[in-house]
Chain A
Amino acid sequence: MTRTWYAVRLGLTRGLIEFRQGLTNPQDLWFYLAFPAMFLTPLWFLRDNEVPGTDLPVATLAIPGVAGMLVAYGGLISPGAGLASEREDGTLLRAKALPRGMETYLAGITLRTNLEAVTMAALVLVPAMLLFDGVAPAGINGWLTVLWVLVLGLLATVPLGLVVGSLASSPRTVGGMGFLCTGALVAISGIFYPITALAGWLQVIGQIFPIYWLGLGMRSAFLPDSALAVEIGRSWRTWETVGVLGVWALVGLLLAPRVLRRMARRESGADMAARRQAAMQRLV
């Protein structure tokens, strides 16, 4: 047990180092900053438009949801693509060659991707709170809500992201398919406009996935009750949020250890060489 704990601690160090490397690397930094800019710029131009049915500006209504969406996106795509590309480039095989290296590696990527997801959300929220009037969590309760939605949201997404990364044949599959799927889901998850504006069956699909609930949870922390006019059932549905995100977290946490163990057992140099070969051919 102490050796497992030692390996996990080593992994957390690893995660911190890699997170810091991301913050000091121009390419990654650009990625971090592009997202908030991409979302905040249009909202800035729409800042005087009110959402029909409420007295709230578009930005006020959309920003908490965008933050929730980024948590979901960061929680799914970043561990998924990260794991898939580190399987391809041999990081995983190296981990496998070290004593308790897999535990160390997984602790590292888990911490790193959590930090990245939180950073992405913060990079949208903090500037938004400074730029726009009325964008702020409602008191201490609001902040506490932000906290639990964040924790539960990450639990609901990061393990699933790792599962996706273990099963994917290449990082490009995760990047491409992941982008498409999350893109489509975002469109029906009530992030940029109220979900109640959608057809009933789309609302049902949207409510299956964590993105909608992360958005709703974040809105419940930031928005006054007057914004409920455009929510389903005119309610923040806190217990439903806990329930759905909880189920996703449970599924992910049950699935991830099995899938990851299987992936780790199968990882071999010959497979990695084959993936490398395939990736090199794409470059040529």
Chain B
Amino acid sequence: MSGSRAEVSQGVAAQGAFASLKYRKNRDRVVELVLLLAGLVAVFTTIAIVFILVYESAAFFETVTIKEFLTDTLWSPLFDDAHYGIMPLVSGTLTTTFVGLLVAIPLGTIVAIYLSEFAGHRLRETVKPILELIAAVPTVVFGYFALLVVSPFLRGFMPELPGFNMLSAGLVIGLMIVPYIASVAEDAMRSVPRYMREGSYAMGATKLQTALRVVVPGALSGIAAAYILGISRAVGETMVVAIAAGMQPQLTFNPTEPAATITAFIVQVSLGDLPHGSIGYQSIFAAGLVLMIMTLVFNLIGFYLTRKFREAY
């Protein structure tokens, strides 16, 4: 009797297990669908960004011709005498980016080579987290430095420099992205295999020769990626330029002058209270579209470069 009870309970258990296996498999399918939807959020976000920028810009370009947008040398969409030439904002963006890169690329590369090839293990393991920590500092804090520390400091020996100028904004942007470039480029150099260095040492090369002629060329695709990352950051940087570079759009490539960038213009407009659907409201989306295209172009160049310089070990 006890045997039959055991048999029965075993049968029930088995039946339960089968039922639950079916249930569990169905649950798996539902879960997979939910997870897939979460993954698709990234795709939807991209589509939404492109859609919103193009949709609002399309309304903008009903009023403004593309020719005027690209050739007019004045940008004053909020004034009575409205001009819609994007070039002054582009020139501001390119100038601050250029100044920033002039600082960040040499310094970042030197730091990366030093950390990867020369520094001892302990120094590197201490500095790397610090670099990541610096990368997390809010950009508005860097804006404070640019306007209230760096700009007065520069004016100490350049008395004619205006309080708002692209030079101090660019310098601070450069300082801000040094850790980025150093960190990513260092990762790339570290991943060059050890035997390549050893081959070079065996030929009688010194550390510096090995670094410059073996490691850097070997890691070139990663280093290019680091530079591109830096450029994207500098082009899209908003708070530093909005605070320190000035708000008047001006077609100039002279860093000692004040000028608005694309991002600074968007901030300036957003601070005011523009009615939805007005030309001023649409103009920030047109500016955003240009910014997006600029970032995209730099990223495509970077993608091309990383492909071209990729070394297979």
Partners in one complex: no
Measured CB to CB, the residues of A under 8 A from B are none
